[in-house]
Structure 1
Amino acid sequence: MTVRSPSEKLMIVLRRFYGRLSLVSLAVLAACSTPVAPPPPPTPPPPLVETVRPRPPMGAVENMSIPEIQDGKYLTPNRKVTSNTALWHVRMALNVAALSCRSPGDLARLQYNRLLHVHGPILTQANEAVDRNYKVAYGAAGFGARERLNTTVYNFFSLPPVMKSFCPVAEAVGAKLLAMPSSALLDYAPTALAELEKPFQDFYAAYADYLRRLAEWQSRFGGTVTVWAVPSPLPPPPVPPGEAPRQGFAPSVTSAIQQNLPPPPDAAPAAQPARPPAAAPTQPATSGPKLMVQPLPTNTE
């Protein structure tokens, strides 16, 4: 066994210490010399989505006028109608459906023809009642006033964008009318008319929403696009006259004024009777209280 002196032992210890220190130093230097990893690339921006200009609903045309709202609903020629007028408007709506709706077997057309056959008498009575209403309200001008409203009603139910949603409703209403007795038609007519009108009310609401979205789109991108003006609302349709009694009133234009109905455009204003000129006062008017003239007492003696 080799015996080392204390100095040799110290040298061995120092040699081992510096050897280990060299290994640590090399590791530290290696770590310092490693290049720093580059930062991750920036997140790419989202893809550019082309802004789409709002389009009218149901294939309708642009810049279309719609009615104004009154009492929560859009004004239509079916407002303020009597039961007879409502039934006649229902008949006109189903007539439009018979001519315009194309379903398997032409259901709307078959229903309409069957309706005229089954409920012919009550429809005739309703037509006569509506005629009487116009004669009482407008006199000799009643025929023209009714024809104008009929044209408005036919045009209302013939609005092309609504036909797709109107036809199923018309067929459903036609089936209900054929399933009930004629005596129940007048009571059901206002409800049937509201059901037939609902697709058009929904369309007007959708078009109003389209106009709102279009205005918002124009406010954001109007500098680079052609800005369309908001269309003016449709004028209010004529209001049909109220129910007239079977006998009594003489037809005249003045009766329309009494019912707060505007006379038709082609009706001449009623002649006013001539009145004598007012007499000029001969004494100045007094502002004091007027005396009541009491009857003279009778002599009972």
Structure 2
Amino acid sequence: MPGMTVRSPSEKLMIVLRRFYGRLSLVSLAVLAACSTPVAPPPPPTPPPPLVETVRPLPPMGAVENMSIPEIQDGKYLTPNRKVTSNTALWHVRMALNVAALSCRSSADLARLQYNRLLHVHGPILTQANEAVDRNYKVAYGAAGFGARERLNTTVYNFFSLPPVMKSFCPVAEAVGAKLLAMPSSALLDYAPTALAELEKPFQDFYAAYADYLRRLAEWQSRFGGTVNVWAVPSPLPPPPVPPGEAPRQGFAPSVTSAIQQNLPPPPDAAPAAQPARPPAAAPTQPATSGPKLMVQPLPTNTE
């Protein structure tokens, strides 16, 4: 036909062979790919290094830097509330709630209302506790007792007035105040040590948080202190004064009355009473003699 290319038999044979070998190559490659070992996927990329905190640690609860905190003794930070009697504990509770009444501001003004109610309901027992604490200081310090107590009172007020702790202290003070108002006055002395520990806990927690801040700050300074100002670790607070122990009431004199004076029978297992000692027997001081004895002569009379 006109326009068509006419190939010779040899050319047609070459075309057929090319197609055959081309298809054979594709089949061979597929067979080789199926028989070969699969290649492992590339490893994941190396994760970036962890971020290093380069921001200088800050004090907890908005506290100031370079602040001194008490030392630890027996697992707790030293405070003016340690080693207190029940009367002293109750008086410290009153001072703590007084601070709350002046410093804790809420919509209901609960701390102030509770404190005023506490003075009205439990006034007599608080007065007795105050007199007992006064007596303790007079017995322990004599004429210097008033000054010693005033110094401790100032320390206690300053302790419960620490500004960073007010936010966590006020709810605890309101809870303790509610408990005191719900119990009779006769139960206050027994509850006072527990109440004082509850009121002190926010401050113990703050000291622990500040100690952790100082630890993190020291670690940060050891890593980046070459390019920043290094702050020295503040010295711990000196130990606060310890209140005196409980003193007996004025005019108190112990009385001892024996069971004999009360005409009480002795207990069944009592030992027999000791018999009073007898005087020793008279012993001769002259040796005994067997010689003649002098006869007693009669007295002369006037008639003779």
TM-fit CA distance, 1:148? 0.0
SS at match of 2:193: helix
Counterparts in 2 of 1:23 and 1:86: CA distance versus 1, 3 Å? closer
TM-fit CA distance, 1:266? 56
Over the aligned positions, Cα root-mean-square deviation in angstroms equals 15.7
1:184-232 superposed Cα distances (whole Å, 9 cap, x missing partner): 0000000000000000000000000001111111111111111111111
Q: Which segment is superposed worse, 73-82 or 259-268? A: 259-268
SS at match of 1:231: coil
Counterparts in 2 of 1:105 and 1:293: CA distance versus 1, 3 Å? farther
Q: Which runs of 5+ in 2 are unaligned?
A: none
Which whole-Å CA distance do the structure 2 matches of 1:290 and 1:209 have between them?
110
Counterparts in 2 of 1:114 and 1:281: CA distance versus 1, 3 Å? farther
TM-fit CA distance, 1:247? 2.9
Which whole-Å CA distance do the structure 1 matches of 2:293 and 2:69 have between them?
60
**Which residue of the partner structure matches residue 55 of structure 1?**
58
1:230-252 superposed Cα distances (whole Å, 9 cap, x missing partner): 11100000000000001369999
Q: Which runs of 5+ in 1 are unaligned?
A: none
TM-fit CA distance, 1:291? 48
Counterparts in 2 of 1:225 and 1:28: CA distance versus 1, 3 Å? same
Counterparts in 2 of 1:254 and 1:102: CA distance versus 1, 3 Å? farther
**Which residue of the partner structure matches residue 263 of structure 2?**
260
1:167-192 superposed Cα distances (whole Å, 9 cap, x missing partner): 00000000000000000000000000
Which whole-Å CA distance do the structure 2 matches of 1:87 and 1:294 have between them?
95
1:3-60 superposed Cα distances (whole Å, 9 cap, x missing partner): 9999999999988878889999999999999999999998895797762111000000
Counterparts in 2 of 1:97 and 1:11: CA distance versus 1, 3 Å? closer
TM-score of the pair, normalised by structure 2: 0.69
Counterparts in 2 of 1:293 and 1:176: CA distance versus 1, 3 Å? farther
SS at match of 2:294: coil
- Answer whether contact 1:141 1:266 (CA < 8 A) is retained: no
- Answer whether contact 1:138 1:263 (CA < 8 A) is retained: no
**Which residue of the partner structure matches residue 233 of structure 1?**
236
Which whole-Å CA distance do the structure 1 matches of 2:217 and 2:297 have between them?
77
Which whole-Å CA distance do the structure 1 matches of 2:297 and 2:223 have between them?
82
Which whole-Å CA distance do the structure 2 matches of 1:292 and 1:63 have between them?
114
Counterparts in 2 of 1:211 and 1:247: CA distance versus 1, 3 Å? same
- Answer whether contact 1:138 1:255 (CA < 8 A) is retained: no
1:262-297 superposed Cα distances (whole Å, 9 cap, x missing partner): 999999999999999999999999999999999999
Counterparts in 2 of 1:64 and 1:23: CA distance versus 1, 3 Å? closer
Which whole-Å CA distance do the structure 2 matches of 1:293 and 1:219 have between them?
120
1:63-100 superposed Cα distances (whole Å, 9 cap, x missing partner): 00000000010000000000000000000000000000
SS at match of 2:260: helix
Q: Which segment is superposed worse, 217-226 or 129-138? A: 217-226
Structure number with greater Rg is 2
**Which residue of the partner structure matches residue 280 of structure 1?**
283
Which whole-Å CA distance do the structure 1 matches of 2:212 and 2:11 have between them?
100
TM-score of the pair, normalised by structure 1: 0.70
Q: Which segment is superposed worse, 93-102 or 212-221? A: 212-221
Q: Which segment is superposed worse, 60-69 or 244-253? A: 244-253
**Which residue of the partner structure matches residue 164 of structure 1?**
167
Counterparts in 2 of 1:270 and 1:58: CA distance versus 1, 3 Å? farther
**Which residue of the partner structure matches residue 7 of structure 1?**
10
Counterparts in 2 of 1:7 and 1:136: CA distance versus 1, 3 Å? closer
Aligned length: 301
Q: Which segment is superposed worse, 224-233 or 152-161? A: 224-233
Which whole-Å CA distance do the structure 2 matches of 1:300 and 1:114 have between them?
113
Counterparts in 2 of 1:220 and 1:247: CA distance versus 1, 3 Å? same
